[in-house]
């Protein structure tokens, strides 16, 4: 979607190879009470890590909230990952200002709020390990927001991060089932958004898929009832309703273009 391939690399950390790292993460390592006894999270590090992206993965349960702020689309690959569209130009997030502050009137997707924490899967096991991205812009030595107390136990900060990652991981698993069903349903179609901006210019935003409303209306009864039983219909309607937010993105882009021209 508008050359935002990195936005759909939403899997948890795997073998640690750089090419497989999820969006935003540079060096996620397991938190260790001995190795990281003095390590702390920097205060108010902001959302600067989202500056160069125009789409971010979202989970199924977020879609009813997301649809009020962002267009929801699906990645064009076989994963059909749901994403929130954050910008209309390459490498631009319209919800981030020059001070790395998120738009105060907009919901912040959970994928972004989770950072810099993430789960890592232990090879040949179902066990998950809490990791932190070893990025100097978000962690520091000897700071106030320590990950471990003087006895080596997790602080409230670490415990809350663990619980958030547990909830996120469970939601991500539910999203995978939904995405796989959509990917094989034949309902997804490629689309291109044509956005008119200041100066009589037009931006073509492509590389994403949406649910075709006509095809959804013609969905066979058995599949429709199965999806209703699974509670998926509300999320499909949230996606369809989110189409109204393309106009909001256009408005925000025009605002930015005016500032750039001033």
pLDDT of residue 125: 62
Q: How many domains does the chain have?
A: 1
Q: Are 88 and 54 in contact (CB under 8 A)?
A: yes
Which pairing describes strands 55-57 and 82-85: parallel, antiparallel, or unpaired?
antiparallel
The DSSP result for the chain, as a single string, is -TT-GGGG--SPB-S--GGGPPTT-S-EEE--TTTTTTEEEPTT-TTGGGTT-SEEE--GGGHHHHTTTS-EEE-SSTT--EEEE--SSTT--TTB-TTSPBPTTSPPPHHHHHTTEEEEEPTTSS-EEEEEE--TTTEEET-SEESB-TTSPBPHHHHHHHHHHHHHHHHHHHHHHHHHHHHHHT-EEEEEEEEEETTTEEEEEEEEEEE-HHHHHT--HHHHHHHHHHT-HHHHHHHHHGGGHHHHHHHHHHHHHHHHH-
pLDDT of residue 14: 35
The DSSP result for 60-93, as a single string, is GGGHHHHTTTS-EEE-SSTT--EEEE--SSTT--
d(CA 50, CA 117): 15
What's the token pair of residue 193?
Answer: 């958004």
Taking alpha carbons only, the member of 58, 60, 79, 80 closest to residue 70 is: 58
**Rounded to 5 degrees, what are φ and ψ at 190?**
-75, 145
pLDDT of residue 26: 93
d(CA 45, CA 43): 6
What's the token pair of residue 245?
Answer: 């937010």
**Rounded to 5 degrees, what are φ and ψ at 46?**
75, -170
Encode pLDDT of 214-234 as tens digits. 999 999 999 999 999 999 999
Encode pLDDT of 136-150 as tens digits. 999 999 999 999 999
**Rounded to 5 degrees, what are φ and ψ at 195?**
-110, 125
* Host domain of residue 243: 5-261
Low-confidence stretches of the chain (pLDDT beneath 50):
1-18
Q: Is the peptide bond before 112 cis (omega within 30 degrees of 0)?
A: no
């Amino acid at each position: 979607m508008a050359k935002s391939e990195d936005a759909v690399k939403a899997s948890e950390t795997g073998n640690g190879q750089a090419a497989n790292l999820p969006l935003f993460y540079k060096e996620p390592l397991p938190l260790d009470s001995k190795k990281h006894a003095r390590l702390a999270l920097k205060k108010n590090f902001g959302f600067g890590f989202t500056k160069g992206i125009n789409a971010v993965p979202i989970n199924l349960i977020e879609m009813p909230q997301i649809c009020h702020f962002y267009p929801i689309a699906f990645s064009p690959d076989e994963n059909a990952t749901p994403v929130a569209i954050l910008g209309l130009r390459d490498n631009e997030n319209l919800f981030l200002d020059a001070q790395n502050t998120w738009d105060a009137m907009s919901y912040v997707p959970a994928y972004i709020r989770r950072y810099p924490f993430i789960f890592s899967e232990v090879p040949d096991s179902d066990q998950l390990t809490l990791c932190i991205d070893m990025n100097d812009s978000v962690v520091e030595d000897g700071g106030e927001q320590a990950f471990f107390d003087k006895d080596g136990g997790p602080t409230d900060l670490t415990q809350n991060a663990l619980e958030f990652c547990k909830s996120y991981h469970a939601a991500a698993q539910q999203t995978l089932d939904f995405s796989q069903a959509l990917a094989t349903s034949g309902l997804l179609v490629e689309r291109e958004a044509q956005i008119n901006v200041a100066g009589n210019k037009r931006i073509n935003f492509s590389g994403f898929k949406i649910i075709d409303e006509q095809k959804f209306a013609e969905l066979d009864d058995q599949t429709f009832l199965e999806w209703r039983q699974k509670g998926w219909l509300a999320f499909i309607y949230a996606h369809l309703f989110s189409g109204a937010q393309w106009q909001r993105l256009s408005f925000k882009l025009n605002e930015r273009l005016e500032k750039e021209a001033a």
